[in-house]
Amino acid sequence: MKGMVFTEFMEMVESKFGLELADRILTTCDLPSGGSYTAVGTYDHHELMTLVQLLSLETNIPIPDLVRAFGHHLFGRFTEMYPRFFQGVSSSFQFLEQVDAYVHVEVLKLYPEAELPKFTSQRMDENRLAFEYRSRRPFGDLAEGLIAGCAEHFGEQIQIQREPLAAESGTAIRFLITRLG
């Protein structure tokens, strides 16, 4: 997983919980990388899970809540780091529909070693989008947080229902996103 995900995670920990806690997590974690991440490096995604587990132990906040909060935060960072992906896009549904065929395709050109999930989307009606996530990895909570961050970016209120799908391996989740206003 790209180092940028790790550096953004640690930035979030620092800004929400303070530098001291961020340092403590990095020094107590016994990780192959030693916990010193660079945005351009690539690291085992299990390290992110270890960091989240440690943060959960320190804060008493459940792991899924922390991962969702991170997804939300990360989307905000993406809007600053990759403004070109937002040109001409005026709603969360329009953006989400472009993630698989455009955004992640461009991400892969920038970072050929990235391992990205697959998304399919289907408009149920004007205010409902079915969005299916499939990945070898268990990052459904991250996807949910990113979806929430996306709605916030476009100033929309949404409700997200999720349903696990059968998957031979990895993770598959169907998000039903309802736009409330």
User: Residues in the site for ligand HEM, rule: CB under 6 A?
Assistant: 1-2, 5, 78, 82, 85, 96, 99, 103-104, 107, 111, 114-117, 135, 137, 139, 142-143, 146-147, 150
CB of 124 to ligand HEM, least distance (A): 17
Q: Which is nearer to ligand HEM, 54 or 147 (CB)?
A: 147
Q: Given the complex with ligand HEM, which of 13 and 147 has the nearer CB atom?
A: 147
CA angle centred on 72, ends 66 and 78, rounded to 5° = 130
| Least gap, CB of 25 to ligand HEM (angstroms) | 20
Return the SS3 of 174: strand
From the CB of 57, what's the least distance to ligand HEM, in Å?
23
DSSP H or E stretch at residue 80: helix 63-81
Tokens of 38: 């660079």
In the bound state with ligand HEM, the residue whose beta carbon lies nearer, of 1 and 25, is 1
> At 93, which amino acid appears?
F
Comparison of 20 and 155: residue with beta carbon closer to ligand HEM: 155
Own/partner pairs, 168-173, CB within 8 angstroms, 24+ separation? 169/136, 170/134, 170/135, 170/136, 170/137, 170/138, 171/133, 171/134, 171/135, 171/136, 171/137, 171/138, 171/139, 171/140, 172/132, 172/133, 172/134, 173/132, 173/133, 173/140, 173/143
Closer of 19 and 123 to ligand HEM (Cβ)? 123
CB of 15 to ligand HEM, least distance (A): 20
Rounded least distance, CB 2 to ligand HEM, Å: 3
Local structure of 160: helix, strand or coil: strand
